Amino acid sequence: MSEKKISFVDLVRIEQLRHIETNKGETLSYVSVEDMEHTSNINFEHTVFTQHLSTRAKRLIKYNALAKPLLHPQQQFDRASKYSLIIAAILGGLAAGHAVGESATLNIYWLLVVLLGFNLLSIVLWVIGISFNLQGLSSGIAAQLASWLPYRNKGNNTIESISSRAWYESCLTGRIGKWRISVLTHKFWLTYLIAGLIMLILLMIAKQYNFIWGTTLLSENSLPEFTYIMSIPMEYLGLIAPDSNQIAASRIGIGAQDIEARGAWARFLLGALLLYGVFPRITLLLISSLMQKLAERNFKLDFYLPYFIELRQRLMSPEVKTKVIDADPLVLKKRRVNTSPPPSINNGIPANAQAIGIELDDQTIWPDAIICHSNVIDMQSFDDTLDAIKKFNSSSILIGVTVNRLPDRGVQRTIKDLIASTNKEPWLILLQKPTTGPVANARKLAWFRLAEASGISAEHVISQ
């Protein structure tokens, strides 16, 4: 199979199917093992296995008619995003119209506060939220509402609700969710500003306004100085701001304005909205879009989850036969290492792998083709096992643990010490006892995380 990059959309579909099969407790109707291309050595970190999962997902979607429910959460989010942008456009137009009012005068600084003040506050909150990973601050109310819709039926266990929750976890949480919501937030405010800007242009085309300003608490020179500071960058864009005489003549109660003063104030107002409102939002929107694309490109499936471990075994080989080990732990501890290579069990395990148990008893089930060479139950057996590993350093080690027990730091430390004594890729096999019932997924997941923390790659974890 040729290698190619799997799209983020396909990865999300795989995650949605994982949630559906996991929550429903059954495999969807499709005999995937027989129909899939068979391979005996799939690397979990490699594109090949993801392509197998993508092919399987497409066939499951086709045979189970899942295209519509899987696409539903994306459609919900897109629809909610459009509604939020419509609301932003209405608010921007109303804000500009309300700030102008019905009179022939326009308070320039009040209008800047209405259109730019809240926008500036939103940018500050977004920067704080992004810097400290606080999604509540980095997204607005409309964006949070749009992100909540696909996840609103949390307690429902239908296929549609499960796929919605899976889409939510993949697309609206973590790094991807942070930037996706940021994109919607910037679109919201950009729409708000553009709608206000268009409303102002239409009003100033249809009616003549006198631009005024005034202050009660601030000094008389504060607002003119503020105007001068804001106008400095505008000069590089060719926008000439009002001069000192025009600013002074525009104070409330001074008198009527001439056409040059009105034109200068109009250019200043529109330039301020563009330079300090629209352009920063466009820049932040582009940055957030690029970061979202980058996060989606770096998105990887968590192959240490029990679902993928078990699915890999079904795709790679038939189930292995098991048997109860035929010796007491004390006997196993003293047993000499069998140097003859055991037959292959068709799981990709090297034929000469040394099987080592950790605190196993005589009820633990091993696959038929594997001979347990030693069982670590104390320091003496641990030292003997290390000596055997170093003696046969050319062989890989297969570490067997009882999946029923809770993994702890002691077991993890023992596994790490055993792995450190060999330069071969280690394997971990999760063994069961015939007297115990089904193992909870949470317990399996704990062992898979232990394997990940111990440096055992996901494709080298065998679960019976």
Residue 185 and residue 142: Cα distance in Å, rounded?
8
- DSSP assignment of 122-144: HHHHHHHHHHTT-HHHHS-HHHH
The residues that bridge with 251 in the sheet, in sequence order, are 213
Report the largest interatomic distance among the alpha carbons of the chain, rounded to a whole angstrom: 107
Please tell me the distance from the alpha carbon of residue 40 to that of residue 347, in angstroms, as a whole number. Answer: 7
Q: Which amino acid is at 63?
A: Y
Q: How far apart are the C-alpha atoms of 385 and 13, rounded to whole Å?
A: 45
For β-strands 322-324 and 365-367, DSSP reports them as antiparallel
What is the torsional sign of CA 185, 191, 194, 199? negative
Residue 84 pLDDT greater than 70, yes or no:
yes
Q: Is the pLDDT of residue 277 over 70?
A: yes
Structure tokens at 132: 């400290």
Asked if pLDDT for residue 289 goes beyond 50, the answer is yes
Average pLDDT, the chain: 82
pLDDT in tens, 98-112: 888 777 788 888 888
Distance separating alpha carbons of residues 310 and 307, to the nearest angstrom: 5
Q: What is the pLDDT of residue 66?
A: 93
CA distance 287 to 293: 10
Nearest to 49 by CA among 38, 35, 34: 38
**Residue-level pLDDT at 369:** 78
User: Is pLDDT of 344 > 50?
Assistant: no
Which of the pair, 249 or 171, is modelled with greater confidence?
Answer: 171
DSSP 303: T
Mean pLDDT check: name the lowest of 13-27, 49-63, 136-150: 136-150
- pLDDT exceeds 70 at position 275: yes
- The one-character DSSP state at 116 is I
153 CB neighbour count, 10 Å cutoff: 14
Q: What number is the average pLDDT over the span 182-204?
A: 94
d(CA 288, CA 292): 6
Residue 121: pLDDT band with limits 50, 70, 90: very high
Residue 253: predicted pLDDT:
62
AA identity, residue 200: L
Residue 329 tokens read as 């732990």
What integer pLDDT is reported at residue 328 of this predicted model?
Answer: 43
Instruction: For residue 204, count CB atoms less than 10 angstroms from its CB and return exposed for 0-12, middle for 13-18, buried for 19 or more.
Output: middle
* 66-83 residue pLDDT tens: 999 999 999 989 998 999
pLDDT of 417 strictly over 90: yes
Helix axes 67-100, 174-206, angle to 10 degrees: 40
For residues 218 and 338, the model is more confident at 218
Alpha helix stretches (DSSP H) within 101-221: 108-112, 118-131, 135-138, 141-148, 159-171, 174-206
Is residue 52's pLDDT more than 80? yes
Token look-up 């949390």 returns: 154
Residues 6+ apart with CB under 8 A from 239: 231, 267, 268, 271
Two tokens, residue 31:
């005999």
Q: pTM, whole model, 2 decimals? A: 0.81
DSSP assignment letter at 217: S
